[in-house]
C-alpha cells in the first residue's frame, strides 16, 4: 500500500511539474498569423492552475462534442466558493471569449491579462473575482482555417463561427439548442455575475477607432440599472479609456451606409448573451474591436478595456451591488413588464466620431461605381447617436403560468435557467387565461435552425382548463421573473413561441370531407342561432366570401364544436 501511495504522489508531482514547465508567456501571441490552437489554450490555463493558488480551472459542463466547457477562476484570497464570494460582497466579473472563434482578440487578451495578474505585473482590486471562459465555441475554435473572416485584418488562420451543429452561439441563449449554451446558462445562473464582458470583433464600416463598445440598451435594461449604466458607468469607461490612449465610440451599427450621419444603437434581444444577461440584472458589455486594425492593436485594446471595466467595478462595488438589488426589488414588485421596445428617433446623444471620408470609385470587379473609405482623408465630427428606445409592448404579469408536461423541451430550458416549477400532484380544474394565436409571420428560410416567428398577434379569454397530474405551475414570484415573462409570453419577440417550440399547435389535426359535413353544417346552423348570425355577418362584410361555398363551410367548421380546441391555442396558460 505504501509503495502505491509513493507511486501516486510521484505521478501527481510529475503532472504538476510538467504543467509548470510548459507554461508559456502569452505575450507575443498577438504577433502571430494564427489563432492559438485550442489544445494550447487549454494547456496554458491548466498550467496556470498548477502554478498559482489564486487560479482554478474547472469543467463547466458538456458541449456538442466530447470537450467539456472550461471556466477559469481568479480569486486573490485563493477562495473559490461562490457562496462565500456573495457573502463577502465580491464583484463577480464574467469574461466570455470565443463565442465566435474567428474573433480571437479576447482569447489572447484574457490569457495575457490573467498571466500579468498572476505574475504581479498588474494588480486588480482585491474585491474583484474573475470567471473566464477561455473559449466558448470549442468545436469552432478547433476548426482552424483560412478565409473565415474576409474583412478581418488577421490572423490569417482562425477558428470558425459555427459550432459542431453549425450554430452561431450568440443567437442561442433563448432557444438553447447547443449543449455548451445550456452549460454556460447553468454556470451563469450559479455565478449571478455583476458584470459580463463578451469579447468580439466588429464588422461593417471603416473608421479610425480601434475599439467600439456595445453596452446593453439602457432603456431595455430599465429600472435603476439602465440610468446608472447610461449616465455613470459607461461615461466613466469612456473617460478612462481616453486617458489610456483609446477613444471609444459606441458599436458602429451601420450597414450599406456611412456612419457620418449617425446611427442607431444596437438593441440586443435575449437571444444574444448580453441581452440574456440583462434579463438577470447583469451589467453587460460587448467590446467590439475594429476588424481592419492590426491584430496586435486589437488585442491590446481588448486587454485595456477589460482592465478599465475591472478597475471601475472594484472601485464602485457598492453601487453595482446596490443598483442590482434595487432592480431585483423593483421587478419583484412590478405588476406590468415590457416585452418589446422600438427605437425613438426623436432623441439622440451627440458623440465624437473619428472616421474616414467616403468616396466613389470604379469597381475592378464589376466596372460600376462603388463606395469606398479614403484613409488619406480622416475627419473628426460630432454626430447623433440614437440610443433611446421606448416600450412598444407591455404585459400584465400573472401570478403564475401553467404549462402542460408534454412540452418537455421548454420545461428543460426553464429548469436550466433556474426556474422553479411545481408539479401538480393530482388532476385539477383551474380558471386560467388562455391565449389564441391570431396571426404571425415566419422567416422563409431557417434562422439558426428555426423558422423564426415575428409580428405575433394573439387574443385572450378566461376559461376553465382541465389539468392532469404532472402538469406544471410556474409562480412569477421568484428571482428570474423577467426571464419567465419574456420567454413564456406568446408575443415576446424572443420567446419560446417565436422560436417555434410550440409549432405543434399551428397545424390543424382534424378536418372534414365537404360532402359529409354539408348536412351536419346545415343542422348546426339550424340549432345554433349564434353561429348562424356569425356566418351571416361574415357574408355581409365580405362579398367574395358570400360567393364561396367552400369558404363558408370551412368557416362553420372553424367555429363549431368539431374544430379541435388545441389548434392555435397557446399551450401556456396564465394564472391571474
Domains of the chain, by residue range, sit at 2-331, 349-390, 396-507+570-575, 514-558
**Whole-number Å distance between alpha carbons of 137 and 164:** 9
Burial class (CB in 10 A: 0-12, 13-18, 19+), 416: middle
State the pairing for strand pair 428-442/68-74: unpaired
Check residue 256 and give its pLDDT.
78
Check residue 255 and give its pLDDT.
84
pLDDT, tens only, 352-361: 999 999 999 9
Check residue 21 and give its pLDDT.
45
CA distances to 218, 225, 304, 441 from 248, in Å: 18, 21, 12, 38
Check residue 22 and give its pLDDT.
53
C-alpha R_g of the chain: 28
Q: Of 346-350, 360-364, 460-464, 557-561, give the lowest mean pLDDT range.
A: 557-561
Q: Spelled out in words, what is the top-level CATH class assigned to the domain 2-331?
A: alpha beta
Q: 192 pLDDT band (50/70/90 cuts)?
A: very high
**Whole-number Å distance between alpha carbons of 324 and 277:** 12
Nearest to residue 215, comparing CAs of 183, 189, 241? 241
Question: How many Å from the N-terminal Cα to the C-terminal Cα in the chain?
Answer: 66
Read out DSSP for 509-529?
-----HHHHHHHHHHHHHH-H
Read out DSSP for 525-560?
HHH-HHHHHHHHHHHHH-HHHHT-HHHHHHHHHHTS
Do residues 453 and 441 touch, judged by C-beta distance below 8 A?
Answer: yes
226's grid cell: 439602465
Check residue 13 and give its pLDDT.
47
Has residue 410 got a pLDDT over 50? Answer: yes
State whether the Cα torsion 427-432-438-444 is positive or negative. Answer: negative
**Whole-number Å distance between alpha carbons of 23 and 10:** 20
Report the interhelical angle of 179-191 vs 408-416 (nearest 10°): 40
Check residue 19 and give its pLDDT.
43
331's grid cell: 421587478
pLDDT, tens only, 193-230: 999 999 999 988 999 999 999 999 999 999 999 999 99
Interior CA angle at 544 toward 542 and 548, to 5°?
A: 115
Mean pLDDT of 481-485: 98
Mean pLDDT of 446-475: 97
Contacts (Cβ under 8 Å, ≥6 apart) of 466:
427, 428, 429
Mean pLDDT of 471-493: 98
Q: How many residues does the chain have?
A: 576
pLDDT, tens only, 107-166: 999 999 999 999 999 999 999 999 999 999 999 999 999 989 999 999 999 999 999 999
Nearest to residue 127, comparing CAs of 363, 292, 280, 312? 312
Q: 20 pLDDT band (50/70/90 cuts)?
A: very low
Check residue 15 and give its pLDDT.
46
Answer whether the bond into residue 477 is a cis peptide, omega within 30°.
no
pLDDT, tens only, 394-405: 999 999 999 999
The sheet carrying 263-264 orders its strands as: 263-264, 369-386, 349-362
State whether the Cα torsion 516-519-523-526 is positive or negative. Answer: positive
**Whole-number Å distance between alpha carbons of 496 and 482:** 14
**Whole-number Å distance between alpha carbons of 325 and 331:** 10
Report the interhelical angle of 408-416 vs 481-488 (nearest 10°): 160
**Whole-number Å distance between alpha carbons of 109 and 115:** 10
Mean pLDDT of 459-478: 97
Interior CA angle at 214 toward 94 and 243, to 5°?
A: 85
How would you label 431-462 residue by residue, b for 16+ Cβ within 10 Å and e otherwise?
ebbbbbbeebebeeeeebbbebbeebebeeee
Q: What percent of the chain has pLDDT over 70?
A: 96
506's grid cell: 399551428
161's grid cell: 463561427
Mean pLDDT of 176-181: 98
Mean pLDDT of 51-80: 98
Q: What percent of the chain has pLDDT over 90?
A: 93
Do residues 364 and 242 touch, judged by C-beta distance below 8 A?
Answer: no
Do residues 385 and 250 touch, judged by C-beta distance below 8 A?
Answer: yes
Check residue 203 and give its pLDDT.
86
Q: What is the dihedral of CA 338, 393, 385, 282, to 10 degrees?
A: 20
Mean pLDDT of 402-430: 98
Has residue 479 got a pLDDT over 80? Answer: yes
1's grid cell: 500500500
Nearest to residue 172, comparing CAs of 278, 271, 61, 60? 271
**Whole-number Å distance between alpha carbons of 390 and 166:** 35
Amino acid at each position: 500500500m505504501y509503495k502505491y501511495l509513493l507511486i501516486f504522489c510521484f505521478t501527481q508531482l510529475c503532472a504538476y511539474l510538467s504543467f509548470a514547465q510548459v507554461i508559456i508567456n502569452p505575450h507575443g501571441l498577438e504577433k502571430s498569423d494564427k489563432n492559438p490552437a485550442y489544445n494550447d489554450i487549454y494547456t496554458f490555463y491548466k498550467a496556470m492552475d498548477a502554478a498559482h493558488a489564486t487560479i482554478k480551472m474547472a469543467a463547466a459542463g458538456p458541449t456538442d462534442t466530447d470537450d467539456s466547457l472550461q471556466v477559469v477562476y481568479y480569486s486573490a484570497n485563493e477562495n473559490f466558493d461562490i457562496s462565500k464570494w456573495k457573502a463577502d460582497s465580491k464583484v463577480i466579473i464574467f469574461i466570455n471569449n470565443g463565442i465566435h472563434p474567428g474573433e480571437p482578440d479576447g482569447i489572447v487578451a484574457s490569457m495575457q491579462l490573467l498571466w500579468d495578474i498572476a505574475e504581479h505585473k498588474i494588480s486588480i482590486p482585491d474585491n474583484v473575482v474573475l470567471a473566464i471562459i477561455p473559449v466558448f465555441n470549442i468545436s469552432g475554435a478547433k476548426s482552424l482555417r483560412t478565409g473565415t473572416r474576409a474583412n478581418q485584418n488577421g490572423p490569417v488562420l482562425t477558428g470558425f463561427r459555427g459550432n459542431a451543429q453549425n450554430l452561431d452561439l450568440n443567437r442561442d441563449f433563448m432557444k438553447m439548442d447547443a449543449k455548451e449554451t445550456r452549460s454556460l446558462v447553468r454556470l451563469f445562473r450559479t455565478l449571478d455575475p455583476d458584470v459580463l464582458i463578451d469579447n468580439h470583433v466588429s464588422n461593417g464600416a471603416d473608421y479610425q477607432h480601434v475599439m467600439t463598445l456595445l453596452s446593453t440598451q439602457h432603456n431595455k435594461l430599465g429600472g435603476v440599472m439602465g440610468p446608472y449604466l447610461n449616465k455613470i458607468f459607461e461615461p466613466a469607461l469612456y473617460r478612462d479609456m481616453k486617458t489610456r490612449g483609446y477613444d471609444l465610440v459606441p458599436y458602429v451599427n451601420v450597414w450599406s451606409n456611412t456612419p457620418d450621419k449617425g446611427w442607431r444603437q444596437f438593441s440586443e434581444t435575449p437571444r444574444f448573451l448580453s441581452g440574456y444577461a440583462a434579463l438577470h440584472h447583469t451589467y453587460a458589455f460587448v467590446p467590439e474591436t475594429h476588424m481592419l486594425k492590426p491584430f496586435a492593436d486589437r488585442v491590446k485594446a481588448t486587454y485595456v478595456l477589460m482592465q478599465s471595466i475591472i478597475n471601475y467595478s472594484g472601485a464602485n462595488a457598492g453601487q453595482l451591488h446596490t443598483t442590482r438589488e434595487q432592480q431585483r426589488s423593483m421587478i419583484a414588485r412590478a405588476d406590468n413588464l415590457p416585452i418589446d421596445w422600438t427605437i425613438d428617433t426623436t432623441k439622440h446623444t451627440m458623440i465624437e466620431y473619428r472616421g474616414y471620408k467616403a468616396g466613389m470609385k470604379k469597381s475592378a470587379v464589376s466596372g460600376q461605381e462603388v463606395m469606398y473609405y479614403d484613409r488619406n482623408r480622416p475627419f473628426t465630427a460630432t454626430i447623433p447617436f440614437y440610443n433611446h428606445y421606448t416600450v412598444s409592448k407591455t404585459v400584465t404579469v400573472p401570478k403564475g403560468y401553467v404549462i402542460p408536461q408534454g412540452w418537455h423541451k421548454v420545461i428543460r430550458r426553464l429548469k436550466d435557467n433556474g426556474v422553479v416549477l411545481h408539479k401538480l400532484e393530482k388532476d385539477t380544474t383551474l380558471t386560467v387565461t388562455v391565449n389564441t394565436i391570431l396571426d404571425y409571420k415566419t422567416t422563409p428560410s431557417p434562422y439558426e435552425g428555426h423558422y423564426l416567428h415575428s409580428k405575433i398577434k394573439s387574443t385572450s379569454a378566461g376559461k376553465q382548463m382541465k389539468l392532469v397530474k404532472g402538469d406544471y405551475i410556474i409562480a412569477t414570484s421568484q428571482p428570474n421573473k423577467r426571464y419567465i415573462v419574456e420567454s413564456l409570453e406568446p408575443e415576446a419577440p424572443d420567446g419560446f413561441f417565436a422560436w417555434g417550440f410550440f409549432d405543434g399547435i399551428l397545424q390543424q389535426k382534424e378536418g372534414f370531407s365537404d360532402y359529409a359535413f354539408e348536412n351536419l353544417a346545415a343542422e348546426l346552423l339550424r340549432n345554433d342561432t349564434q353561429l348562424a348570425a356569425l356566418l351571416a355577418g361574415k357574408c355581409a362584410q365580405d362579398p367574395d366570401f358570400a360567393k364561396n361555398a367552400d369558404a363558408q363551410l370551412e368557416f362553420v367548421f372553424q367555429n363549431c364544436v368539431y374544430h379541435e380546441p388545441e389548434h392555435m391555442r397557446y399551450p401556456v396558460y396564465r394564472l391571474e
